Amino acid sequence: MEEYMLPCLNKKYLGFECMGCGIQRSVALLFRGEFIDAFLMYPGIYPLISLLGFLIINQFVTLKYANKTIIFLAILTVATIIISYLIKITH
């Protein structure tokens, strides 16, 4: 699976990682059952999966507070990605 992963063009041409660097490897780690390593590779993976899962469920089931939940999960996902990226580039 790793041999088919796309390279980060931002890192290749500009010399620094983007906010999405590590997501492919994190998903690969999830498929192998390495859940902690997946989080350490890309901390935004679990909020992102929660958001996508909720969006899929919301297509089939009507939920009372769906809009508020989607907004909360979207903000949580974006905040996690940005904070983890800022921590990564400052260390």
Question: pLDDT grade, residue 1 (50/70/90)?
Answer: low
9-19, pLDDT tens digit by residue? 777 788 778 88
**Better pLDDT: 51 or 7:** 51
- pLDDT for 14 equals 83
36-86, pLDDT tens digit by residue? 999 999 999 999 999 999 999 999 998 899 999 999 999 999 999 999 999
Contacts by 35-39 with C-beta closer than 8 Å and gap 24+?
A: none
* Backbone φ and ψ of 16, nearest 5°: -140, 155
Number of domains in the chain: 1
C-alpha–C-alpha distance, residues 91 and 84, integer Å: 11
C-alpha–C-alpha distance, residues 67 and 88, integer Å: 31
Q: What is the span of the domain harbouring residue 46?
A: 2-90
